Structures are given as C-alpha cells and as structure tokens.
Structure 1
Amino acid sequence: MCERPAEAIPARANFIFPALEPTALAIAGATASFPVGRVYCIGRNYRWSPDEPAPAEMPAWFMKPANAVVPAHGVLPYPPGTGEFCHEIELVVAVGLGGRDIDPAQVEAHHIWGYAAGLDLTRRDLQQRAKRAGGPWEPAKAFDHSAPCTPLVPATACGHPRRGAVWLSVNGIARQRADVAELLWPVPALVAMLSRSVTLMPGDLVYTGTPVGVGVLHPGDSVEGGVAGIGQFSMTVGGRPAAVSSPP
C-alpha cells in the first residue's frame, strides 16, 4: 500500500476557518511585541522547608498552551471545575535564540532574550487528584488564563538577574517571598535541561518555579506580586463561573 507523501502547507494557506492570531507579550518601553511559542513550567525549584536536602536530579517540568499567557493586569478570571484555585509567583525567562543540547555556559550570552514576572495558576484540587491517580497534570495547569505575565524586559536592559525579591501578596498580606538567588537550579541549567529533551525555539517561555507559600485565591481577592528589577502586577480575582447543569 502506497502512502501519499505529505504536502507542505503553503505560506498563504487556504484554511477552512481563520487561523488564530498568535499570542504575544508586550515589551517594556517598546511598541514591538514578543511572539509567544511554547510555555515550559518548572516544578519544585525552591526549598519549601529549611531542612529540605539539595536536589540530586533536575526538577520535573510540564507545559501550558501559548494562549494561556495573558497580560498580568485587570481581572483574573476564576476558572471552572475547581474549589482550590492557587497562585504561584515565578521569574519568567524568554528565549530569543533556540537550540538543542545547549551548553549552560552559553545560555545567558546567546539564548535568553529577556525576563518577566508571571503566575503559574493551578487548580490544586485537580492536581492532587492527578498525583494520586498517576494521571496527567493538564487539567490542573493548562486552563484558560493560567499564565499571566508582565511585559518582558530585554536582557540588554536588565542584565541577567542573580538576585532580587520574588514576592506575592493577597489583600495586602504577604504570601510568598524568596530571592532569585535561592533558585535550586539556576536559569542556565534549566534552559540547558529543557534543550536536552526538546529543540527550544525563539519565543519559548520558561516559568522557573515558585517559592513556598502557595495559597488559595477567592473571588474579589486583590493579588499583587513581582520580581525586583523585572516587573510587578496587580490583579483582582473574578467571580466563580456559573455551574453547568447536567442534561436530564
């Protein structure tokens, strides 16, 4: 049986419906935008207790869709299907030059375009359920509006942060606070690790992990956070979506 060879899609393809607009992030102090490719999220990358031993292996990672990235301002929609909507503040890294099997020593000099502050939002009850069942994390992590992000700051403007507060408060009360210097695996190691599994591309984002203090958000909460020298945000949690009734 002969298989028909795959045909390349022409640059001006006749799609059956209009293609979605690409996701883009604002750039601080510029009119241009940064096109978002893929979104990689790093698991535990800060100590959550003082006596936690140094990790022997690189952290786990998972992905969110590009269109989960939204500007970190205004209303933060409360997602459906959860009663435990949680915040995770993170330093975000934007890749400007991709590659495979990247040398950690070359990451900052050649591959990082810039930095931002972002939220890895989580439906924690769904995550715990997935952990118990050994199932995938997508329902807990990859929902709409789950990756708010501040405008990107080019590395040419801010350098490569070695230290600086990573913080988040809810209704004026501190919830999370750490320092970039406390990352268990620094940014060059994280980017190099990812490049050993996938070929990184320009436009990819890396959410680098969250400090201790993850907590639940409720409708009406005021959420503020940021990374010193990079960006900060203020958002208000929206109302719970109406419950969908089952058909009779």
Structure 2
Amino acid sequence: MTDFLFEPPATPGVPVAGEAALYPVGRIFCVGRNYAAHAAEMGVEADREAPFYFTKSPSAFLASGATLPYPPGTENLHYEMELALAIGAPAFRVSAADAPAAIYAYGCALDMTRRDLQLKAREKQRPWDLGKDVEGSAVFAPMTRAAELGEIGPQRIHLSVNGEIRQDARLSDLIHSVPEIVADLSKFYHLRPGDLIMTGTPAGVGPVEPGDRIEGGVDGLAPISLAIGPAE
C-alpha cells in the first residue's frame, strides 16, 4: 500500500439509473461553441471544421441538487446547460461510426462559468482556466445508460432560472454530433472509463445571483438543479 504525505482527495462519483455503484469522475472534457446560436451571442464564429475543447478538474464536480456558493473573483457567474456523456470503454483513434460503442451513459450537466474572467482571458488570448475550471462548476445529474436514451437528436434541452425559461433548443442543433466529438477527442487522448464529456450549450446563457435556483433537463434524462448560495 502506497503512503502519501497528505490524504489524497476522494474520487467523486455520479449515480447511474439502475446501478448501485457510482460512475467514477476522472477527466472532464468540455466542447466550446458547439451551438451556432450560442457562438453568435458570444460574438464569435462557430468553428465547423472541428470541435475545440477545454477541461475541468475532478475538483470542479458537484452533484445535482447542491448549493453552489457564489465563486470568488467574479461578478458575472453564468449558467450553461449541457448534455454530458460518460465513456465506458477504452477509445483511441476510433471512427465516428465506432464511437457510440465507447459511450456508457448520458446525463444532464451544468458548466458554471466566471464569464468576466473568461472574457478577459479571451481578449488577451490566454487560457480560460480561471473562468471555467472552478470548484463546483461541473454539475452532474444522475445518468442514464446510453442504450436506454436511444438516438441523439430530437431531444429538447432546456434550462430555467427561478422558473423562467432561459435556454431552449434541440440536441439536433449540435454543430458537432456526439459520435464526431468522441472520434475527434480520441485522436488526442486515450479515452477511458471515468472520462466525462460535456458537449456544449445552446443560446440563452446568462448571469445568476445568490438566491437563484437553476433547473434544467434533456428529454429522457434525469433533470438537474442547482441553488446559488452567498459567497463564502
């Protein structure tokens, strides 16, 4: 048994419908600007040649239903509703046709973003880490096995804040499809069980304040919720 100087962090896990065990959270990959309307509202062109990515560390994980303290260093915390997928088999340099075999489950997710810090970094052509890789900013609902959801495309994806709809689209609006994302990412990484991929957010992103409640969903999946608490 290996001894460590300090206690290593526990591995977080996501519930999966019908399973007693949790899905372990390892790497979290996120696709940027994967809905044309969202890219437009952010004042940029959607990249249709290939997906691009940023990452979040496992410490960003937060379970649906929790309260997220308003993060430090920002005055503009935004919600982003997303479809997430969980890898269930090793995938390296797979084709889009073979990519679905590597997907274990799907779920609702929130990419909470310190938008002011992200935009400052973007203006200076710097990485987005301070805006995106934030403690508690990768929120996941319980997941559903891929075979039970069926083909991705017609499902509605939506989000409300305090009961008011803010995001409302279809998964068919994705620029890069789920198989294309997995195939492309597998060119650069040995994907493995524990890897989660957030596939991008539709238009309608915006700020939240302490006291707000976020609720979202994708047809056929368990809904997601998050309360925004006061800053610590």
Q: Give TM class, smaller chain.
A: over 0.9
- CA distance in 1 between counterparts of 2:48 and 2:124 reads 25
Aligned counterpart, 2:90 = 98
Q: Secondary structure at the match of 1:20?
A: coil
- CA distance in 1 between counterparts of 2:152 and 2:48 reads 24
Deviations along 1:40-98, one digit per CA (max 9) or x if unpaired, are 00001112179998744112110000221211113122111000000000000100012
Identity across the alignment (%): 39
Deviations along 1:112-150, one digit per CA (max 9) or x if unpaired, are 000000001100000010011111111000010000010
- CA distance in 2 between counterparts of 1:49 and 1:14 reads 47
Aligned counterpart, 1:180 = 171
Q: Is the 8 A contact 2:87 2:196 kept in 1?
A: yes
- CA distance in 2 between counterparts of 1:171 and 1:182 reads 25
Instruction: Give the total of aligned pairs.
Output: 229
Please give the TM-score of this superposition, normalised by the length of structure 2.
0.93
Amino acid at match of 1:22: T
Aligned counterpart, 2:24 = 35
Q: Is the 8 A contact 1:37 1:201 kept in 2?
A: no
Verify: 1:76 aligned to 2:68, yes or no.
yes
- CA distance in 1 between counterparts of 2:139 and 2:39 reads 29
Aligned counterpart, 1:207 = 198
- CA distance in 1 between counterparts of 2:45 and 2:55 reads 26
Rg: which structure is higher? 1
Aligned counterpart, 1:14 = 3
Please list every run of 5 or more consecutive structure 2 residues that lacks an aligned counterpart in the other structure: none
Aligned counterpart, 1:6 = none
Cα offset, 1:157, TM superposition: 2.5
Cα offset, 1:181, TM superposition: 1.1
In angstroms, what is the RMSD of aligned CA positions?
1.8
Cα offset, 1:215, TM superposition: 0.2
Deviations along 1:150-176, one digit per CA (max 9) or x if unpaired, are 011111322343321110011111111
- CA distance in 2 between counterparts of 1:38 and 1:125 reads 25
Aligned counterpart, 1:245 = none
Aligned counterpart, 1:89 = 81
Cα offset, 1:13, TM superposition: 0.8
Aligned counterpart, 1:163 = 154
CA change 1:114–1:237 in 2 (3 A) is same
Cα offset, 1:16, TM superposition: 1.7
Q: How does 1:93-172 map to 2 (within 5 A)?
A: 93-108=85-100, 110-172=101-163
Please give the TM-score of this superposition, normalised by the length of structure 1.
0.87
- CA distance in 1 between counterparts of 2:86 and 2:224 reads 18
Aligned counterpart, 1:9 = none
Q: Secondary structure at the match of 2:157?
A: strand
- CA distance in 2 between counterparts of 1:89 and 1:49 reads 11
Please list every run of 5 or more consecutive structure 1 residues that lacks an aligned counterpart in the other structure: 1-11, 242-248
Q: Which moved more, 1:121-130 or 1:12-21?
A: 12-21
Aligned counterpart, 1:220 = 211
